[in-house]
Amino acid sequence: MKRTRFDVLLPMLLMAALPLPAHAQEPVPAFTVSANVGVFSQYIFRGISYSQEKPAVQGGFDLAHSSGLYLGVWGTNVSGDALPNAVGEIDVYGGYAHAIGDFTLDVGFLQFLFPGGEYNGSGENFNSLELYAGVTWKFLNVKYSQMVTDYFGFNDRSMGMGRGDSDGSYYLEANVNYEFLPGWTAQLHVGRQDVKHYDQYSFTDWKVGVTRNFEGGWQAGLSYVDTNVDKNAYLPICNGNGNGCKQPGDPNWLAFVKRTF
């Protein structure tokens, strides 16, 4: 829930693009590098717990150029019950962001990689590639993401439904990040996942939360996440791992502590 790594990149990109004060002695570096690591009560992606409501350790690295170009990598542990046979998730992403007044435009790609992850019986993996475009105005963000590969491996071979591939599936989301007190930010999110040719797997998710920033790059947060996903549709996927799994899409609380360097 890709995770909003743009929350880390946006300040970096804006700082790199700002002109220097007259009294400044050193030029702004062309490249800015940052890293982040955090402990989360669970890993929730678009309303579904991919860690089966168990704790997750997540972290990544980001490289931003003063031109607005950026590139990053991010990883987390996942549950092999939620994503059969997967030992983790690694995301590689990159793009271009440009600020125009109060607006910031952002376009890029996001490659999901799930080492070892595959549907039992078919051998189809979950690896997927999305292209995205978003716009941020002050505290409001709207973003559209579209799969150029199958949606996490949904196709005739993995699903056995005779409906074809699922490339062209999309996710449309709106996010509010409003700082109501110094260091305190209220978060609202709603998103719609459309799975092409597999309508029963489409769903809407939403989140209400708050984060608190501290000195030294520390941040803590708490949020409530829910979705209207068809639990009976998704449950056989994780049950196919042979171990069973918790009901996907149950409402969940998410708490975390992380640090950005």
Which stretches of the chain drop beneath a pLDDT of 50? 1-2, 6, 13-18, 20
The pLDDT value given to residue 247: 67
The pLDDT value given to residue 123: 87
- 171 contact partners, CB below 8 Å, separation of at least 6: 46, 130, 144, 145, 146, 191, 192, 193, 194
Rounded distance between C-alpha atoms, residue 24 and residue 26, angstroms:
6
Segments of the chain assigned E as strands: 31-40, 44-45, 48-49, 56-65, 69-76, 89-100, 103-113, 128-137, 140-147, 170-181, 184-194, 203-213, 218-227, 252-260
Which is it for strands 31-40 and 56-65: parallel, antiparallel or unpaired? antiparallel
The pLDDT value given to residue 122: 86
The pLDDT value given to residue 234: 77
Per-residue pLDDT tens over the stretch 121-173: 888 999 999 999 999 999 999 999 999 999 999 999 999 899 999 999 999 99
Task: Measure CA of the first residue to CA of the last residue in the chain; give whole Å.
Answer: 21
The pLDDT value given to residue 11: 55
pTM: 0.87
